[in-house]
Structures are given as structure tokens and as C-alpha cells.
Amino acid sequence: METIQAGFDFGMIGLGTMGRNLLLNMSEHGIKGAGYDKDTTKIPLLEQEDEDHNTKGFDDITAFIKSIKPPRAIMMLVPAGKIVDDVLEELIPLLDKGDILIDGGNSFFQDTRRRDIYLQSKGLHFFGMGISGGEEGARYGPSMMPGGDKTAYEVMKPILEAIAAKVDGEACVTYIGPEASGHFVKTVHNGIEYGLMQLIAETYEYLKYFLKLDNAAIAALFEKWNNGRLQSFLIEITSEIFTYKEKGENHILLDDIKDEAKAKGTGKWTSQIAMDLDVPIPTIDTAVAMRNLSIYKSLRTLLGDKYKTETHPEEAVDIGHQTKLLEDAFYFAMISTYAQGMHLLSKASEAYKYDLNIADIARIWRGGCIIRSEFLNTIYKAYSNDKELDHLFMNKNVESELKETETGIRSILQTAIGNGLGMPAFAASLGYFDSLKKASSGSNLIQAQRDFFGAHQYEKINVSGTFHTQWTGIKSSK
Ligand SMILES: NC(=O)C1=CN([C@@H]2O[C@H](COP(=O)(O)OP(=O)(O)OC[C@H]3O[C@@H](n4cnc5c(N)ncnc54)[C@H](OP(=O)(O)O)[C@@H]3O)[C@@H](O)[C@H]2O)C=CC1
Ligand SMILES: O=C(CO)[C@H](O)[C@H](O)COP(=O)(O)O
């Protein structure tokens, strides 16, 4: 029988897209990593792709555990949910007190909280860490959001800082806060990701169905935008998607892809959490709803035939002018989306006592992650200069950017609505702004209605206390 030397610095469970690439990234930094996956086809891939020969794949979990230097540090990158609990149950009998476990997947933050308490009771260190950047990020430098057991994070810090993306020489990883705050922040990151992706999809619809631009023209436009203030990972990859042809094919792959979007849950969780905390994030809510709506393809097709909206692009539609307005509109809506996400972070920080450093979160999102963008520098500066910033819209620089682009989004939405294009995420982004800048709203009427039909009481301007009015005699329902 082979004697196993405990020679590896780190262990990875799950050698799929994220786990394998993160181990390869570590290997490039001289970190010796052992990998385990229940899918044995993934195991040879690890060693085949590891040019630095620092990794080894195991198909036996006991051998895998024995190969890691104690106190062991092991990360799980398996699908979120019950699988994480199953892996933990398999691991616990094989581990020693003081070992460190890290959940690097997109786990629901309340699950992380539960697991933290459970693993502490077993004498194990545990922390949840959101990782963003997809396949390429994991391989060459992700953004990482660790939260929970700080002692365990400090042990892992040198490794995480080595493999993280770097911006201005700084690693895109920082200790986020206690308990499940790391997974919470990753969830909100994904909510923002959903919002931005929906805005891009609506932009595509406007360009394709209203302005009648072809894929090549759309690709060129996104490329141009990516060289300006819209610079971001999502705009960059979008431009590439519009030119991508499969080997041997002479048409664009995008045109073969079903227009029905899937989701794994993080966007929905962001909306659910925001609702629980009474924080408005309408662009993200709309993005989640639009993914859900997209799957009703046959209903959409039937209704499309029934309710045809005549689109009337004026004969001499000025493409240059329209795309300039659209760029303004996107910039405005993008600011609104980030602002909603950052506001949710600050309100959740108070509610959950996470004591989040919002500036630091913006800083580590500037590189490696899916929502990285030029604009995150503005967010970083805004929260660095004012730690108590109540809302991103209050920042002077953001104020001037919003004022400069407001006409663009209003104009694009007028055209979109007039032509039956919808653009609900753009509308939600502007609606959020318009509603948030209203000192007086119609909510007094809602209060009156609630009191009228349900005796729910209301408060009065400049008079303390709560009031109820018998608005009318109780009428028969006949
Ligand atoms: N892909 C991405 O861009 C990102 C993903 N994430 C998150 O990271 C986590 C991993 O994602 P990803 O790498 O994409 O997923 P993959 O499906 O590519 O890889 C997960 C691997 O874990 C294996 N696995 C499943 N159950 C077990 C088990 N009980 N023991 C050992 N291995 C197991 C899977 O095997 P099998 O295939 O046989 O089930 C698979 O090989 C998820 O939580 C995901 O949401 C986070 C950021 C970005
Ligand atoms: O976390 C990620 C990126 O940041 C993952 O790619 C995640 O799977 C994206 O969410 P969804 O699958 O719901 O689109």
C-alpha cells in the first residue's frame, strides 16, 4: 500500500470550473495543492493542465485528506446547497480539531451562518468566501470576499493575496466581516451583476430591433463603449460575443442561442434579502423578473402575434445620435444599479451588525470580478472620502454624472415606450432615481387608504402620535 506523505499546502474539493482553475492559479504561485472530486473524469485534467507540477488529484477522499499538511486548509468549490452539507458530513470524521474549511461557492448566507455554528461545535475553523471572476478569474486572479472566522482568514491571507487579481498593486481580497458577511456581499455582487446584464440585454434589443444594427455594428459599438466611461468586464465580453463564430461556421453563435435565461439563485436571494430589509433595489428585482419572464417563450410568441406594436423608426433615424443617447442612458442606469446594491450593503451592514467597509468592498470589486468596471473607481473614492455616505447619489461626482446623462435615459425610454420596446430595467433605474429625489410622494394617500379599509392608522405631519379616522359609514358590499 502506498504511504501518503502530508506534503500539500492546500486541499480543494470540487475540481470543476472554479476549483480546478483556482488550484492551477495557486500552483503558478508555488502553492502545492491536492484536489479531490467525486467525478473522477475531472481528476486527470488537473495534473494535465498544471504546467508547474505542484498539484495532484485524488479519487479517494481519505488519501486526499492525509496528503494535506496539518493544520489542514481545505476549500470546497462544489455546487451550493445540500451538496455542501453532504461534503461536510463526509469530511468531519476525517479532520482534526483546528483544521480550516472554506466554502468558496455561492452559498446562501444563512446556510453559511448555520454551518459556521455547527463546525465551531466540532472544533473546526470555517469561513465562507464569495469568489468572483468565473473561469478566467479563478485561473488568473479573482476577486474574493472572505467573511467569518478571522483567525482562519489570517492563516489563509498570504495565499489568497497571492492568487487574487491586483489593481494598483493591491490584491482584490479583504476580510469582509463576521459570520456570513462574505457570502452576503457576494450575493449582492451577483444581484448587481444581474442588473447590469439585463441593462445590456435591453440595450441589445434597442440596437437590434429598433435601430436595426447587425452583429458587427453592435460589436463595434460595445468595443467603442468599452474604451470610454462604460469600460467594464461585462461590456468587454459582450463585444466579443457579437463577433464569435464556432470553428467551421460562418455565422455568429449568439444567433443560435435560445432567448431563455437561466439562474442559479443569487439574484433572487438579493431581491428577497432586500425585501426583508425594506431596501428598494428595483433594477435588480426587474432583472430577476425578466430572467423568469424570458422562459415563457411560447406565451411570448403568442402574445407577440396578438399585440403587435407598430415600430416607427423615423426614416432618417440618426444612428450616431441614438447611440450617443443610449450610451448616456446606459451610464445613468448603471450608476443607479450600483447605487442600489451599495445602499443594500450599507443597510444590511446595520441590520446584521456586519460593520462592512463599503469603500473596501468597492476596492476589491475593481479587479478580477464580473462587475469590475471603471465606474467602481468613482464608487471607491466616494465611500473612501465619506465613510458615512448615506447613498451614492449624494456624492458630488456621481451627482454631476447623473445630471449629465439624465436627458439621455429619458429620451431613450420615451422612444422605447413609444415603440413598444419596454426596457423595464432602464425604466426601473430611472424610476428609482425619480422616486428617491421626490421630497413629497403619494404615500400619504396609501396611508389614508390603509386606515380607511383596515383601521391601520396613520401619522400626521408635525403632530406626534398615530391616528385613526372613521372615513365613512360602513357600507354594505351590495
Ligand atoms: N462558474 C462560475 O463562474 C462561478 C461559480 N461559483 C460557485 O462556485 C461553486 C462551484 O462552481 P463551478 O466550479 O462552476 O461548478 P462545477 O459544476 O463546474 O464544479 C463542481 C464540481 O464539484 C463536484 N462535486 C459535486 N458534488 C461533490 C461531492 N459531494 N464531492 C466532491 N465533488 C463534488 C462536481 O462533480 P459533478 O459534476 O459530478 O457533480 C463538479 O466536478 C458553485 O457554488 C458556484 O455557484 C462562484 C463564482 C463563479
Ligand atoms: O457567481 C457567479 C458570477 O459572479 C456565477 O457565474 C453564477 O453562477 C452566476 O449566477 P447565475 O448562474 O444565476 O447567472
pLDDT on residue 314? 56
**Amino acid 5: pLDDT:** 77
CA distances from 274 to 9, 166, 179, 340 (A): 39, 30, 19, 10
The CA-atom distances, in angstroms, between 214 and each of 201, 208, 211, 227, 413 are 15, 7, 9, 20, 22
Q: What is the pLDDT of residues 48-93, one digit of tens each?
A: 999 999 999 999 999 999 999 999 999 999 999 999 999 999 999 9
What pLDDT score was predicted for residue 243? Answer: 98
- The pLDDT tens digits for 343-388 are 999 999 999 999 999 999 999 999 999 999 999 999 999 999 999 9
Which residues approach ligand 1 with their CB closer than 6 A? Answer: 13-19, 37-39, 42, 77-80, 83, 86-87, 105-106, 131-132, 134, 264
Query: For the structural domain made of 10-179, what CATH number should be given?
Result: 3.40.50.720
Answer whether the bond into residue 71 is a cis peptide, omega within 30°.
yes
pLDDT digits (tens, 9 = 90+) for 133-170: 999 999 999 999 999 999 999 999 999 999 999 999 99
In testing the pocket of ligand 2, which one of 108, 129, 193 has its CB within 8 Å of the most ligand atoms? 193
> b or e along 403-432 (b: 16 or more beta carbons within 10 Å of the residue's beta carbon)?
eebbebbbbbbebbeebebbbbbbbbbbbb
426 and 199 Cβ atoms separated by less than 8 Å: yes
Residue 212 pLDDT exceeds 60:
yes
Residue percentage of the chain with pLDDT more than 70: 97
- With a cut of 70, say whether residue 475 has pLDDT above it: no
Q: Residue 258 corresponds to which cell in the numbers above?
A: 435560445
Give residue 202's identity as a one-letter amino acid code: E
Query: Where is 191: in which H helix or E strand?
Result: helix 181-205
* Closest ligand, as measured to the CA of 134: 1
Neighbours of 135 (CB within 10 A): 13
| Candidate of 18, 262, 266 to mutate for ligand 2, largest count of ligand atoms within 8 Å of Cβ | 266
> Residue whose CA is closest, atom 4 of ligand 1?
134
Distances (CA, A) of 455 to 320, 442, 444, 450, 451: 56, 19, 15, 7, 4
40 contacts: CB under 8 Å, gap ≥ 6: 59
Confidence at residue 346, expressed as pLDDT on a 0 to 100 scale: 98
**pLDDT, position 244:** 98
CA atoms 360, 362, 363, 365: torsion sign = positive
Residue of the CA atom closest to atom 38 of ligand 1: 39
Look at the chain and count its residues: 478
Residue 313: what pLDDT? 57
Tell me where in the chain the CATH 1.10.1040.10 domain(s) lie.
Answer: 185-436
Fold of 185-436: N-(1-d-carboxylethyl)-l-norvaline Dehydrogenase; domain 2 (1.10.1040)
pLDDT at 191 over 90: yes
Instruction: Say what the pLDDT of residue 476 is.
Output: 61
271-288 pLDDT, tens digit each:
999 999 999 999 999 999
- For the cut 60, the answer to whether the pLDDT of residue 478 exceeds it is no
The DSSP bridge partners found for residue 101 are 74, 126
Among the bound ligands, the one closest to the CA of 81: 1
- Cα-to-centroid distance, 273 and ligand 2 (Å): 17
Mutate-to-test residue for ligand 1 from 12, 13, 17, 269, highest number of ligand atoms within 8 A of CB: 17
Q: Which of 57, 53, 59, 70 is nearest to 7 (CA)?
A: 70
Ligand 2 is surrounded, with C-beta below 6 A, by 106, 132, 134, 190, 193, 263-264, 266-267, 370
Report the 3 state secondary structure along 207-233. Answer: HHHHCCCCHHHHHHHHHHHHCCCCCEH
Residue 363 assigned to a binding site = no
Atom of ligand 2 nearest to the CA of 265: 13
Closest C-alpha to ligand 1, atom 30: 38
194 is in an annotated binding site: yes
pLDDT at 304: 95
Which residues have a Cβ under 8 Å from the Cβ of 114 and sit 6 or more positions away?
none
pLDDT of 2 reads 61
Residues marked as catalytic: 186, 193
| Nearest partner of 75 among 123, 40, 125, 6, judged by Cα | 125
- Tell me the pLDDT band of 394, cut-offs 50, 70 and 90: very high
30 known ligand binder: no
What is the rounded average pLDDT of the residues 34-60? 95
Taking the CA of residue 105 as reference, the ligand 1 atom at the shortest distance is: 43
Expressed in angstroms and rounded, the spacing between residue 118 Cα and the centre of ligand 2 is 27
Query: Burial of 303 by CB count in 10 Å (0-12 exposed, 13-18 middle, 19+ buried)?
Result: exposed
Amino acid 307: pLDDT? 95
Give the C-alpha separation, 420 to 311, whole Å: 7
Q: How far is CA 461 from CA 442, 444, 464, 465, in A?
A: 14, 10, 8, 10
Cα–Cα distance measured from residue 174 to residue 360, given in angstroms and rounded to the nearest whole number: 7
Q: What pLDDT does residue 280 have?
A: 98
410 annotated as belonging to a binding site for a ligand:
no
pLDDT one-digit tens code per residue, 290-320: 999 999 999 999 999 999 887 665 567 899 9
What distance in Å separates the CA atoms of residue 129 and residue 184, rounded to the nearest whole number? Answer: 9
Please give the Cα distance from 127 to 150 (Å, whole number). 8
